[in-house]
Each structure stands twice: as structure tokens, then as C-alpha cells.
Amino acid sequence: MSKGLTAVSFTQVRFSDKFWAQKQKINKDVTLNICLEKCEKTGRITNFEKAAGLIEGDYEGIFYNDSDVYKVIEGIAYSLMNHPDPELEKKADIIIEKIAAAQQDDGYLSSYFILTAPYKKWTDMDKHEMYCGGHLMEAAIAYKKATGKKLFFDVACRLADHYVSLFGPGRRHWVPGHEEIELALIKLYHETEEKNYLDLARFLLDERGHGHGKGGRWDKGDDKSYYQDEIPVREMVKVSGHAVRAMYLYSGIADVAAISEDAEYRSVLEQLWENVALRNMYITGGIGPSKYNEGFTTDFDLPNETAYCETCASVGMVYWNHRMNLMSGDSKYADILERVLYNGVISGVSLQGDRFFYDNPMESDGTSHRQEWYDCSCCPTQISRIIPSIGDYMYAVDNHRIWVNLYAESNAEINLRNGSVKIEKITNYPWDGKVSVRVFPTVKEDLELFLRIPGWCKSISASINHQAIESLEFEKGYLKIKHNWKSGDEIILNLDMPVETVRSINKVKENTGKAAIQRGPLVYCFEETDNRRNFDQLRLCQNSQFVVENNNQDNITEIKVVDQKNKMTFKAVPYHFWDNRDPGRMKVWVEMEDSDESTFLYYTGSKLL
């Protein structure tokens, strides 16, 4: 069994496009600063100072607030690569010093327990001690990679060592109520090669479902499935409970499975993935329909107006699908990654970077709007770290081969065993499907490049140096090109990107008689502000004509839907773009007149996914 691929780090990738580079700039200029300010104003930073004894005062806020600070620092770390900013780095350094100061001698760190009830440490599995610890580790690793500074990283290792000293076979049982620590420990293992971290991660995964969870007395009406603790991981076949927790758990399982060649884990993951992707996912890639448990309900229960689709869960989908892609080399996971990234994730933040969606519905009566901050503010800080780390999801490699997963105008320096390859992409993706990939290798031998052909794309053309590629080969959804590359060789890949009318399968009752529109990776929606006069008449029909128009002011491509029969035109904008102008109603799924197949001899029947 293959050990899988390795992601090319964000440190090797630079964006020069109008899409991600722009979002990263706004993330740096606005979002990260807002998150820092809010963390300061809400006592999230001073909690560390208090825990360190540097200042006096009580703990402020919710028990897991440390995690927000870690996530912002992780975001700053990623951001520094593309947008060096000594001021921002200085701010992070200062916070890190406070965090380090708060760490106790044995390595323990949770400002909440230190300040409120040190005697209650490790007594309540749903108080997120390890969840916060995991975010600390992720942030510390990112910060070391970005800046070379080791202070934070050392804090992380001491914290991990502390966990190892307490939990594991022959030591204490523990079932983290909110998963996250598992994937963080694996990250730390990859950085340190310290096997204890891997072992602890594996231990924590296998603790689940054996009755160790909180002495059998979980909150939420003792619904163990909310915490993914109802059955052992190896027996899981169906997603359950809190969506973010589930995503982090599955990511952790995938990390371990990739390392340990654990066929049972892999099989569990594939089943869970099918359950999510084919039965419990919104068209935006969003997951978790219910506000009640912030999570999953029953298969095909995908209401539109009350769709919860927490931004954090969408980011979790990126994490999990990224790992599945690396483990398997299968593009279907990258397809979902792209779908959720371009829709369910980036809808979570306003264009100005200053307001955030916690839940991302498919339809709104006009009352749903982004907010500046939340008491439970996991989503803004989640955004602050995913936007600048897009670079992590672009490329994967093994010793000799390169996989291209995402398309955006960018440069990358990719190291292989026998040399490096510089890759320059020129494209207007996601607004246009033409991608130029120029290759500058120091590698002498033939090199295999795998270009992902997105699941939404059914027809392509491709050339090398303007010559058709002789023997086309596809592998797991990638166009595989083996070639003796010369410096400056250019692949041109054309991904046909028409507007597609999308329907749900019948089992999604909510969407009966409805359709949505998608172009390339982007799901579109209709906002009242663009369709004031006829929002109530909004519908698609067989002969709707789609007109694709660049809106240079907003830097988006709009779709005009022309209903020729009723002489009406509707305007659709990318789903992620919604609620950035005048407030109003919004719909992704709209009525579509029944397709009377008996009146059409021939029809297209291709699938999107």
C-alpha cells in the first residue's frame, strides 16, 4: 500500500492572481487585525497574561477561547509568507511570549483551567483542553515554518510531552470531546519524528466508542454520537454529530491511516466519505444541516433556509479531503476540496474581510447577515487561517512526481528527490478555464505531472508547447503527462466551463422541482438586490439562456439568466459573494419548470460530481 503523497508547503507557493492574492491581502490588512483586536478586547489575550501571573484578573469569556488566539497566530504565520509584515509579526511575537509565559512547568496550558479551577484540570472531557492544545500545536508549527522562530514550537512540544506523560496505554483514558488534537499531534510528529506523538494520536482515536467518554455521561442528552463516541472508530460507517468535530476526527484518522498503512482505517474513511459527499453535503460543499447539534441529522436531510453549514465545518471539509487526496492520489477528494473552498468556505467572510458568517444557508428571507464577531468566534479565526494557507492545497508530490490540485495564477518552487521544479501558472481561474502551466526544472530525467481535471469539467483540451499531447493518459481524475521537460515548456490546459444547470437527486426532498446553477467550481445564487422587480418570479426553465458577464467593478463573473418565454432576466452572482451589498433575500435553489422529457428526444445527462 502506498504511503501517499506529500503536500507542498505554503512556504513554496506565491499567488499573483486577482482572486486568492486579493483575498490574502485583505486577510492580512483587515481580517487578521480584526481578529487580533477582538481577541484583545474580549480578554482572550489577557487571559494568558493573567494565567502567567503577569497581570491580575479573572478569566474572561468561554472556556475554549485560547483556541482563537492560536488560530489567529497560525493565520499570521501563513500570511507572512506572501505578505511579509514586520508589524504583524511583532504583534504575534508579543502574544507568543505571553502564551509561553502562561505555560506551566509540567507543560500544561489552558488559561481557563489555570485561572478558574486548576484542580479541575483533566476532569471534564468536553472542556476542550486538548482542542485548544491542538490549535496551539498547529499555530506553533506554522509560525516556525514561516519565521524560523522556535519559542512557540518549543511550547507546543512541551505541551505534547505533557499529554504523552498523562495519557496512553497503561496511563489514563481520555476521549477529547472536541477533536482536533489528533491531527495536530500528527503534524507535530511530522515535524519532530517523535513517535510518542503519533502513538498518542492513535491512542486517542482508538479510545472512542468504548465507554471511556466522560464516564458515560456526555452532555447533549447523553447523545454520544454528538461527540463521535458512540462506537469505535473502526466500526464507523456513517457521519454523526457535531460537524466540525467529525471533520477534525476524520482528518486525524486519515493522518494516522496514511502513516500506518492501516487498511481498516482507510476503509472506514472511504465509507464515511461516501456518506458525507454523496448523502450529507450541500451543493456548496457545506455540511451539517442542523443548528441544534451544529451537525449531521439523517441522510439527504438538506433543508435550504435553515442550512447550518458552519464555516468551520466547511474548512474541516478542506482539511479532511486534502488528507484523503494525499493518501489516495484520487482527485475526487480534491474535487470536494475545491467545491467547499470556493463556495462554503469563502462565503464565511465579507469582501472587505471584516464580517463573518457562522452559518451559511442556501436561502435567506433577508435576515441572515455576516457579523463582526461572535462570542463563540471559531469561524472568524478559522477564516483567518484558511485564507492565507491556500498555498498548502495547490500541489502534492512524491519523490519523483508532481500533482497539481488547484488552479490559480501563481509561482511555486517544488522540491523533488533529484532536484527542483519551478512552476508558473497563468490563468484567470476560477472565472475562466484556460490555464497555462510553465515548467522550469532542474531535474534532468522525465518527470510526471498530474493535472487535476475537476469533476465539474467534462471536456478539456491540452497541449505542450502548442502541440497536442500524443498519448493522453488519465489516472484517478488527473491528466498524467510524462515528459522530458525543458525550461519554459508550456502546458495549456483548457477546461470547458459552461454554465451548468444542476439538480439534486430525488431523495433530497427540499430540492424537488428546483435547480441551481454552477459555472466551473462556483455555485451561483440569486440575490434580491439584483432581482428586485422579479425575485418572486425567479425560476429556471428549459430554454433559459445563460449569459456570462464580467463585472469588472466587483471582480466577479455574473450570470444573467434570460427567461425567453416570460421575457424576464435574472442575475446570479457567486454564492460566496452574497450579502456584500444591500441586504435582501437570497436563493441558491430556484424553481425549475418540470422537464417534460417526453417532448425532448435528446438530452444531456452528464453529472457534475
Which residues lie near a copy of itself (CB under 8 A)? 277-279, 281, 283, 453, 458-462, 468, 472-477, 479, 494, 496-508, 515-516, 519, 542-550, 559-560, 562, 564, 569, 595, 597-609
* Residues contacting residue 435 through CB under 8 Å, at least 6 positions apart: 407, 425, 426, 427, 429, 492, 493, 494, 495
The Cα–Cα gap between 260 and 263 comes to 9
Q: How far is the CB of 39 from a copy of itself (least distance, A)?
A: 38
Q: Select from 452, 556, 434, 441 the least CA-distant residue to 495.
A: 434
**Helical H runs in 6-150?**
20-26, 32-41, 46-51, 66-82, 86-102, 111-116, 129-147
Q: 231 or 548, CB closer to a copy of itself?
A: 548
The side-by-side arrangement of strands in the sheet containing 434-441 is 13-15, 410-416, 419-427, 434-441, 489-495
Q: How far is the CB of 456 from a copy of itself (least distance, A)?
A: 9
Q: 367 or 598, CB closer to a copy of itself?
A: 598
Q: 369 or 509, CB closer to a copy of itself?
A: 509
Q: How far is the CB of 225 from a copy of itself (least distance, A)?
A: 22
Phi, psi of 509 (to 5 degrees): -55, -35
Cβ 189 vs Cβ 195: under 8 Å = yes
Phi, psi of 473 (to 5 degrees): -135, 135
Q: How far is the CB of 270 from a copy of itself (least distance, A)?
A: 13
- The active-site residue out of 35, 378, 379, 525 is 378
Q: Are strands 401-404 and 447-452 parallel, antiparallel or unpaired?
A: parallel
Amino acid at 482: K
Q: How far is the CB of 598 from a copy of itself (least distance, A)?
A: 6
* Residues contacting residue 281 through CB under 8 Å, at least 6 positions apart: 287, 317, 336
DSSP lists the bridge partners of residue 60 as: none
Q: 16 or 542, CB closer to a copy of itself?
A: 542
| 294 in catalytic set | yes
| 378 in catalytic set | yes
DSSP lists the bridge partners of residue 478 as: 452, 475
- Dihedral-angle region of residue 255 (phi above 0 means left; psi in -120 to 50 means alpha; beta otherwise): alpha
Distances (CA, A) of 411 to 132, 325, 394, 424: 34, 22, 11, 5
Q: 179 or 500, CB closer to a copy of itself?
A: 500
45-51 long-range contacts (CB < 8 A, ≥24 apart) are: 45/69, 45/95, 45/98, 47/111, 47/112, 47/115, 48/95, 48/98, 48/99, 48/101, 48/102, 48/111, 49/98, 49/101, 49/102, 50/111, 50/115, 51/102, 51/111, 51/114, 51/115
CB-neighbour burial class of residue 560 (10 A; exposed 0-12, middle 13-18, buried 19+): middle
Residue with the three cell numbers 500528527: 186
Q: 297 or 542, CB closer to a copy of itself?
A: 542
Three-class secondary structure of residue 455 per DSSP: coil
Task: Give the rounded distance of the alpha carbon of 515 from its chain centre.
Answer: 25
Q: 29 or 299, CB closer to a copy of itself?
A: 299
Q: 26 or 453, CB closer to a copy of itself?
A: 453
The Cα–Cα gap between 71 and 64 comes to 12
Task: Give the rounded distance of the alpha carbon of 2 from its chain centre.
Answer: 25
Q: How far is the CB of 458 from a copy of itself (least distance, A)?
A: 6
The Cα–Cα gap between 314 and 244 comes to 8
Amino acid at 445: E
Q: How far is the CB of 410 from a copy of itself (least distance, A)?
A: 24
Q: How far is the CB of 527 from a copy of itself (least distance, A)?
A: 18
Residue with the three cell numbers 510518542: 196
- The active-site residue out of 49, 294, 310, 528 is 294
Q: How far is the CB of 453 from a copy of itself (least distance, A)?
A: 6
Distances (CA, A) of 159 to 49, 126, 137, 506: 18, 19, 8, 50
Q: 116 or 298, CB closer to a copy of itself?
A: 298
Q: 151 or 608, CB closer to a copy of itself?
A: 608
Q: Select from 552, 424, 433, 386 the least CA-distant residue to 16.
A: 424
Q: How far is the CB of 96 from a copy of itself (least distance, A)?
A: 43
Q: How far is the CB of 471 from a copy of itself (least distance, A)?
A: 8
Q: 327 or 502, CB closer to a copy of itself?
A: 502
Active site residues: 294, 378
